[in-house]
Amino acid sequence: MVMAGVLVDEEGSESLKAIGVKDSKLLTIGRMRKLFDRIKGIAIRHKIVVIQPAEIDAALESDSLNLNWLEAHKSAEIINALKPEKAIIDSPSNNVVNYKRYLMKLLDNKGIEVAVEHKADLNHVECGAASILAKVTREDEIEKIKKKIGSNFGSGYPSDPLTKAFLEKNFSRHPEIFRKSWMPYKRVAGSRGQKKIGEF
């Protein structure tokens, strides 16, 4: 999982709009790659955080964390590093009130103006820019893994037939690249761990 933040002033926000920045889900990866360096050039500062599978699994196994709270911690890490006067955060949860309350406790600057919205990347060009940095970095991380293990497993998303086929054959061969808490992984690993009649 990859998260990112960009720090811009009002002029920077207008520049992002002018070059066609929007929610990454509305753009092709080719278009995002063209925008990637331009966004970094417009931003006063930016920060990209890559969260490895083991950290996500640890959060989901923890009594005090879940995926949303892990994202809040990473959002706080980004905000604390960029030190904005105002932060606009795309909340992973529909319960933005609870998410904001949890996030505020993690911020160094308690006086910062914070706006938390579900799907903020659709409504705010700054969040759209951050989503592009995160998405392109995510795709680059996937390519690095493919080169490292010498195999093309597709997009890495559970809806991808290539990814599903790779998981079926390689869940135990490359355990470090999978989220053990990922439901497709649990299904495959669980079914392979069950003995069949005649094997007892």
78 and 128 share one domain: yes
47 and 98 share one domain: yes
Tell me the residue range of the domain where 174 lies: 151-193
Number of domains comprising the chain:
2
Would you say residue 198 lies in a domain?
no
Burial class of 19 by CB neighbour count within 10 A (0 to 12, 13 to 18, 19+):
middle
Q: What is the CATH number of the domain that holds 169?
A: 1.10.10.460
DSSP-based three-state secondary structure for 58: helix
42 and 74 share one domain: yes
171 and 114 share one domain: no
If you average pLDDT over every residue of the chain, what do you get? 91
Q: What is the CATH number of the domain that holds 56?
A: 3.30.420.10
Q: How far is Cα 146 from Cα 123, in angstroms, rounded to an integer? A: 34
85 and 156 share one domain: no
User: What pLDDT, in 10s, does the model give residues 2-34?
Assistant: 999 999 999 999 999 999 999 999 999 999 999
Q: Which pLDDT band holds residue 194 (cuts at 50, 70, 90)?
A: very low
Q: Which pLDDT does position 51 carry in this prediction?
A: 95
157 and 133 share one domain: no
